[in-house]
Chain A
């Protein structure tokens, strides 16, 4: 069994947040909906709203049958704060600790407008699929984010920029919504990555600077159509230039290169049965001689199916309990192409299936049991490397 040196601290933290979630969720009546992402957060005094989220888990994985031991991890821990000093002006911030980036700013932007139309500027949580922007949920069935989000897209990263949003129709029934953002976008670090794969997330700026792509902003947009409790579908794009044409004080000339990321998301709700999915396509302009190593085309999708097994509206302290069963299938092709040599398909893909059993307590805390199986096939298509695991997680939104 392998123990991380901070294992005790992590265990205590998970326990602490479990108790905090219990207390916080029991006082749910003091919560109010924030105006931006409709996340229910506390309103300690006008005009401040605060809240947070937590996801921790105990994990047991076997890689190619080799026991990796039991570990406990804080997958992410976030703090949300929103100030609404004026009726049509809000400042929203979201800070997150996670295992990959440690501490990072997820959002820090100002919004001028109402629920139907407005302007946002700052460090934006821009939509690239719906999951990225709405990853904090009341009901979670899986400990981990989908592979298509973490391996193919930009994770849940945010970017400096400015944008408008527009929503028409009845938010409680059916509406059409649209966001258009100009963001600093991705840089050339998407290439030559430590993982030897083209990685969008590696190309996100580490700082809050406006742009390093010859000052060319990338365009991001999402058009969504929502029919409450029936479906929610959308299409997103991130497009623009990701390389510098010429480096400062250097004679190394680089042609401007473009990338286009398309994401289609769809969710359908059938009484107790829900479907949620996203499909993503990355097209990255690359020098031809490296496309076999670094993909110029990638695609992937996930599909979540969940079913409500049990529901009790007055489980404890007049709070509800819901029990769900769920299945997620992930597919990510990190290199969608063919070898020049023999025209055979380049593999480099992940397939993963996750089974979930989750108990949603008090409306906003989920205790999750996941069992997952992952197959990774390398570039050449050699026998897949298998990883299997069980995770017991706690996810709370308080």
Chain B
């Protein structure tokens, strides 16, 4: 059994070497795949080191796992996958992030645009924002529970709070760094007030805003799990706490993997935004 990881490692290395010889450049999926395989191998190997045998009363031996192997994780996740719990919990988590994140976008972008544009506004609110930004959202959990109770709204509040700061800071910086020539052009052509924001300030900032949204969504997803561990009774964070309390470590790890995969998915969606006609100009062309 413990030869498997070594074999797999050798296989992964061989795969790269062969592909390297076969054609240049490498197929895009190959390196990530090799890394994933390697990771699974080391996980398997490490988990095996922590296994031990116990003699049962009837004389047979039983293998006890301290930490689940990849395979036992998959087996352990069978039930929550099959009975729909995992899907339901994932949807619950995504729903909370969607609501909380949307609220942060709706408040954060206008506040950021205005505070970035008007120096007085910036001077007024920036110190407060920068002072609140480093407070971990986790620290707000007791406050959230006190204000909103053990409900969805508690978790949503935490999401809104944690994604608001990167959005507002990113938007403010974006406005403050608009090249002067754009603003001059706009004023020259008679744009002012709303038109100036609509046709110049907002589109000029959009690439940086999208980058800040990407960061904010990452943080939101990070925080939802922590929030659900304490403040609600559904969702992937709740699944982890619940499984831990029942000593189902395979499910703890399974939920962690699910969270990671959904995180990749969310980031993928955000990256698609960078390809829109209106913002493509603001991102360097990467040929990946």
Chain A complexes with chain B: no
Binding site for A on B (CB under 8 A): none
Name A's B-contacting residues (CB within 8 A): none
